[in-house]
Amino acid sequence: MRRPKLAAVREALAAVGSTIDPHAVFRVVGMDVPSGVRHTPLTRDQTMAGARERAQALARIAREKRLPWQYFVGLEGGLDIVEQSGRSWVFLENWAYVCDREGRESFGQSGAILLPEVLVNRVAEQGIELAEAIDEFAGQRGVRDAQGAWGVLTGNRVTRKDAFRMAVINAFAPFFRRTF
């Protein structure tokens, strides 16, 4: 239900929707569904599982309520902790999972951005939700509903919406890509 997430899906579909189905009219409906993972997942696997669970929850709702929805998109942001050359690198990643009524499914990722140590300490070590930690870090309130951690960390060159938009486009790629 977050504004950057809904805008990301709308923009992604505006960019690729006609290649998925040139006759479809896409309408984005936001629903608050559980991810099944902690507020800020601490592994790539957890983040991907959260995105999948959200989309599959939407598909279940559509079946139960006999809604005509064809595509289901789940979004989740979280951390990926990588050990490299004896050092831990902690990245923020955004993932999208898309499935449809025919059983097709795919994941897409945004890329990743390195978190500063102060955020790593607050989120990964102290268990604070990233939304709270980024507000403290930026000296602002409601960052996740605006530019997000991505915007704060890149000087708004890449926002939360931008990162999710890329993840959604990447997740939809198998739905419109021709076989090579």
| pLDDT tens digits, 68-103 | 999 999 999 999 999 999 999 999 999 999 999 999
- Output the pLDDT for position 177: 72
Kindly list the structural domains of the chain, giving each domain's residue range(s) and its CATH number in brackets, ordered by start.
Answer: 3-176 (3.90.950.10)
Q: What is the residue-averaged pLDDT of the chain?
A: 95
Of 5, 66, 15, nearest to 175 by C-alpha is 15
**What residues form DSSP beta bridges with 106?**
98
3-state secondary structure (DSSP) of residue 132: helix
- Give the mean model confidence (pLDDT) for residues 169-174: 96
Integer Rg of the chain from CA? 17
Of 53, 95, 98, nearest to 71 by C-alpha is 98
Q: Give the CA count within 13 Å in the CB-facing half-sphere of 176.
A: 17
pTM: 0.94
Q: Are 17 and 25 in contact (CB under 8 A)?
A: no
Question: Quick check: 145 pLDDT over 90?
Answer: yes
Percent of the chain topping pLDDT 90 = 93
Percent of the chain topping pLDDT 70 = 98
Question: Quick check: 180 pLDDT over 50?
Answer: no
Q: How many CB atoms lie within 10 A of CB 121?
A: 14
- Output the pLDDT for position 178: 61
Of 11, 50, 30, 31, nearest to 130 by C-alpha is 50
Question: Quick check: 165 pLDDT over 70?
Answer: yes
Phi, psi of 63 (to 5 degrees): -65, -50
